[in-house]
């Protein structure tokens, strides 16, 4: 019996030693990788795209700069490889499709805006249904009007800070901008927005979304003079009659309510339609518009819209 036990122990030790030798000489196996599909897809570090938009008017900061059709394309790119930061730029242009403003404004890209920005997600919940994002940036607004004196003139340079708190209910956002070249003012904008997914997994396309947006802008009299183009000065009407009137009052400027219907045809391509209403809320600006006859094409209350197409990668 004792010999049988000793023989069993020797045999067990031999098997264990052989297993250890085999494990030591066996090639290392690659760690398991979890994939949701048949193949694993690496996340891209870059996002870039092209937006092509045609609107019935040129509206910026709740001001109707041109009440006739314009084309406004934009090319953009973002580097998103350093979480939670992103860095990017865009180039935006305006093209008047009529000579409503001035004859030389038609037939050329009369405005080019250059933007460079850095942003970060400061906070988000575990389910990623809520997030606080802040972005700082710089913009150059270049006037390209056909003129010996004005072509290539950087009419405005601005630095800005903007923030938004994304959540499942209503997303508030705000922007503070400071112009520092040729003109000097600080401008404020606040707004609310919400997207509603109307249809998903459509027979043609991926989704249909309704986006609602409301915003209002503020500033002192100097800022509103610059944004809205009318202020303290002497203006003459078509008959040569003129008057010297006050500048704009500090406070609110205007507001815009906008609805956008977006059809996401594929992961990288979408088209949509826009309908919006813009109104001046500052009574002194309304009075100055009425007093300055040569600003007759600018509107106090205005309905406008357009078409958008987006290609992104």
φ, ψ for residue 105, nearest 5 deg: -80, -15
Q: How many other C-beta atoms are found inside a 10 Å radius of the C-beta of residue 171?
A: 17
Go through the domains of the chain in sequence order and give each one's CATH number. 46-312 (2.40.160.40)
Pull the structure tokens for residue 285: 């600006």
Q: Residue 5 has what pLDDT? A: 40
Distance CA 250, CA 220 (A): 4
The yes-or-no verdict on residue 243 having pLDDT over 80 is no
58-86 average pLDDT score: 93
Q: pLDDT per residue over 165-199, tens digit each?
A: 999 999 999 999 999 887 788 999 999 999 999 99
Q: Residue 220 has what pLDDT? A: 85
CB 276 within 8 A of CB 305: yes
Distance CA 145, CA 115 (A): 20
26-48 average pLDDT score: 59
Q: Residue 156 has what pLDDT? A: 80
Confidence label for 249 from pLDDT (cuts 50, 70 and 90):
confident
Confidence label for 2 from pLDDT (cuts 50, 70 and 90):
very low
> Alpha helices of 128-246 — where are they, by DSSP H?
221-228
CB 74 within 8 A of CB 112: no
Nearest to 162 by CA among 120, 220, 130, 200: 120
| Angle, vertex CA 151, rays to CA 149 and CA 218, nearest 5 | 100
Residues in the chain: 313
Q: Of the given ranges (10-24, 61-75, 80-94, 201-215), which has the lowest mean pLDDT?
A: 10-24
257-269 average pLDDT score: 97
Max CA separation in the chain (angstroms): 129
Pull the structure tokens for residue 171: 């997303």
Residue whose pair of structure tokens reads 């242009």 in the numeric block: 93
Q: pLDDT per residue over 93-144, tens digit each?
A: 999 998 887 776 777 788 999 999 999 999 999 988 999 999 999 999 988 7
């Amino acid at each position: 019996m004792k010999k049988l036990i000793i023989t069993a122990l020797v045999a067990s030790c031999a098997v264990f030693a052989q297993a250890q030798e085999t494990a030591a000489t066996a090639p290392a196996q690659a760690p398991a990788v979890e994939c949701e599909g048949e193949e694993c897809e690496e996340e891209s570090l870059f996002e870039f795209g092209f937006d092509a938009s045609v609107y019935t008017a040129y509206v910026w900061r709740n001001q109707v700069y041109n009440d006739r059709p314009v084309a406004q394309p934009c090319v953009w790119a973002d580097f998103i490889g350093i979480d939670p930061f992103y860095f990017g730029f865009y180039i935006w242009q305006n093209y008047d499709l009529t000579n409503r403003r001035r004859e030389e404004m038609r037939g050329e890209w009369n405005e080019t805006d250059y933007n460079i920005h850095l942003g970060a997600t400061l906070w988000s919940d575990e389910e990623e249904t809520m997030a606080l994002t802040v972005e700082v940036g710089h913009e150059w607004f270049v006037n390209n009007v056909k003129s010996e004196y004005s072509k290539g003139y950087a009419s405005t340079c601005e630095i800005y800070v903007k923030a938004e708190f994304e959540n499942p209910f209503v997303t508030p956002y705000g922007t503070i901008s400071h112009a520092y070249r040729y003109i000097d003012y600080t401008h404020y904008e606040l707004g609310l927005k919400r997207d509603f997914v109307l249809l998903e997994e459509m027979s043609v396309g991926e989704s249909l979304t309704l986006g609602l947006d409301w915003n209002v802008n503020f500033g002192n009299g100097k800022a509103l003079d610059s944004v809205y183009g009318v202020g303290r000065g002497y203006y003459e009407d078509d008959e040569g009659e003129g008057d010297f009137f006050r500048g704009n009052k500090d406070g609110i400027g205007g507001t815009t309510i906008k609805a956008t219907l977006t059809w996401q045809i594929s992961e990288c391509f979408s088209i949509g339609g826009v309908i919006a209403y813009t109104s001046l809320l500052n009574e002194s600006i309304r009075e100055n518009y009425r007093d300055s006859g040569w600003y007759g094409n600018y509107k106090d209350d205005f309905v406008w819209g357009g078409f958008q197409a987006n290609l992104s990668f």
